[in-house]
């Protein structure tokens, strides 16, 4: 016969069981994540070692062009015979390119301990792994020719935990070029060594902002309401485009002054800058009235919404077209208001790269 327990004892047992279940789930998740990390770094270091050996063997050949192809062909046959799929000629060419791209990433000591001595204790001592992303990520990164740009995407992918699809999208949307063109030349070195660092309001502005995920057909006719609705339907993608630290706060925020009513399209909050960020959407060319209205919204939030420990509100006008001279003349120099164009389709990467090169050259002459 089941013994009847006092209510307080039964409650304690339920609490203990909840704790046991929660701790067990956390442990298994941690263990699985740790296993994935170890498997990932082993795969990457193995590919690095294979690539290094291929390069070294090719360099020993008399006729390098002919002999180089033979090395990969012969190794692909041997590895496929031994292990089956996964070691095609194309795969081995990628390991070769991986080594050539990141050859300074692994020291001779670490390489010897892993690939030659095959140490069983190596990964217990490896506090700072030489690679932090997956092989699929590095297959994308290896396509990027410029070291500074490649380093930026690697840092951001790790810091923001981008999956492979997101990395592909950010590269295709020319995120690196867009951030630099919205900043100053000092950002070049910072982006390649630290990624995006949010220190001031202008750091969150990208010009242009790419909204290809909205799926508007070419030459579509749409209203500001249509644009807002699609942004909210694709809120996750929009926040990803905005960058790190953004959370959604409100849509069509209502402002009432006497008998006049105004609505700000979107309100976000950035946890890193600790401030509200207001967005107004414009499907036509930006006017001085639009800028004045945004100034009113920002003033309202600074006076009535933000707390004393929060930073001043930022206003961003997303517009189809703008006149930079008009923006500069209309707004005070210390205004936390910015105008950025939006694009509904992926930009021409080569065109942006050329524009960036010209901009950097002009900056260098000053």
Tens digits of per-residue pLDDT, 11-53? 555 566 777 777 777 777 777 766 777 888 889 999 999 999 9
pTM confidence score: 0.79
Mean pLDDT over the full length of the chain: 86
Mean pLDDT is lowest, of 28-37, 138-147, 283-292, 309-318, for 28-37
Asked if the structure places residue 357 within a domain, the reply is no
What 3 state SS string does 83-107 have? HCCCCCHHHHHHHHHHHHHHCCCCC
Same domain, 22 and 126: yes
pLDDT of residue 8: 60
pLDDT the model gives residue 179: 87
The CATH code of the domain that includes 329 is 3.40.1350.10
For residues 226 and 334, membership in a common domain is answered with yes
- Looking at 116, 131, 146, the residue that finishes a domain is 131
Q: Are 71 and 62 in contact (CB under 8 A)?
A: no
- Taking residues 88-108, report their average pLDDT: 94
Q: Domain of residue 64: give its range.
A: 7-131
pLDDT grade for 1, boundaries at 50, 70 and 90? very low
Helix and strand element counts for the chain (H, E): 15, 6
pLDDT computed for residue 122 by the predictor? 80
Q: Residue 299 falls within a domain, yes or no?
A: yes
260 located within any domain: yes
CB 233 within 8 A of CB 216: no
Say how far apart CA 351 and CA 343 lie, in whole Å.
Answer: 14
Task: Answer yes or no: is 176 within a domain.
Answer: no
Shared domain check, 117 and 214: no
The residue ranking higher by pLDDT, 109 or 65, is: 109
Please determine, for residue 135, whether its predicted confidence score (pLDDT) is greater than 90.
yes
In a domain, 98, yes or no: yes
Number of independent structural domains in the chain: 2
Together in a domain, 235 and 126 = no
What is the distance between the alpha carbons of residues 257 and 99, in angstroms, rounded to a whole number? 64
Per residue in 194-225, pLDDT tens? Answer: 888 888 888 888 888 999 999 998 777 899 99
Residue 242 placed within a domain? yes
| 339 and 214 part of one domain | yes
When pLDDT is averaged across residues 138-146 and rounded to a whole number, the result is 95
Cα–Cα distance for residue pair 100/48, rounded to 1 Å: 9
Q: Is residue 304 part of a domain?
A: yes
Please, what's the b/e burial string for 166-182 (b: 16 or more CB within 10 A of its CB; e: otherwise)? ebebbbebbbbbbbbbb
Q: Is 119 in the same domain as 227?
A: no
> Which among 96, 114, 131 is the end of a domain?
131
pLDDT above 60: residue 305: yes
State whether 217 and 333 are in the same domain: yes
Q: Are residues 117 and 217 in the same domain?
A: no
Could you tell me if 224 and 338 lie in one domain?
yes
Question: Look-up: residue for tokens 């500074």?
Answer: 148
Structure tokens at 173: 């949307």
- 114 within a domain of the structure (yes/no): yes
**Residues 224, 111 share a domain:** no
């Amino acid at each position: 016969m089941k013994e009847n327990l006092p209510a307080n004892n039964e409650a304690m047992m339920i609490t203990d069981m909840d704790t046991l279940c929660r701790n067990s789930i956390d442990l298994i998740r941690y263990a699985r994540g740790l296993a994935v990390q170890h498997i990932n770094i082993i795969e990457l270091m193995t590919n690095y070692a294979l690539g290094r050996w291929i390069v070294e063997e090719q360099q020993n050949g008399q006729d390098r062009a002919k002999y180089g192809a033979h090395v990969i062909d012969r190794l692909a046959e041997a590895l496929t015979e031994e292990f089956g799929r996964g070691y095609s000629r194309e795969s081995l060419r990628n390991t070769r390119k991986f080594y050539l791209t990141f050859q300074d990433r692994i020291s001779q000591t670490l390489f010897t301990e892993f690939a030659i001595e095959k140490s069983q204790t190596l990964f217990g001592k490896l506090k700072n792994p030489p690679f932090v992303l997956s092989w699929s990520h590095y297959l994308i990164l290896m396509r990027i020719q410029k070291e500074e740009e490649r380093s930026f995407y690697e840092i951001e992918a790790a810091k923001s935990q981008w999956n492979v699809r997101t990395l592909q999208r950010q590269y295709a949307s020319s995120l690196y070029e867009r951030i630099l063109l919205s900043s100053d030349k000092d950002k070049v070195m910072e982006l390649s060594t630290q990624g995006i660092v949010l220190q001031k309001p202008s750091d969150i502005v990208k010009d242009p902002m790419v909204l290809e995920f909205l799926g508007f057909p070419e030459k579509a006719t749409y209203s500001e309401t249509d644009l807002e609705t699609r942004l909210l339907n694709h809120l996750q993608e929009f926040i990803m485009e905005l960058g790190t630290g953004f959370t959604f706060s409100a849509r069509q925020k209502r402002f009432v002054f006497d008998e006049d009513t105004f609505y700000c399209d979107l309100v976000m909050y950035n946890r890193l800058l600790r401030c509200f960020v207001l967005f107004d959407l414009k499907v036509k060319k930006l006017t001085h009235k639009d800028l004045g209205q945004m100034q009113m919204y920002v003033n309202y939030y600074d006076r009535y919404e933000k707390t004393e420990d929060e930073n001043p509100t930022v206003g961003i006008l997303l517009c189809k077209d703008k006149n930079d001279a008009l923006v500069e003349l209309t707004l005070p120099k210390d205004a936390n208001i910015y105008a950025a164009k939006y694009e509904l389709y992926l930009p021409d990467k080569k065109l942006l790269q050329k524009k960036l090169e010209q901009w950097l050259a002009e900056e260098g002459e000053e």
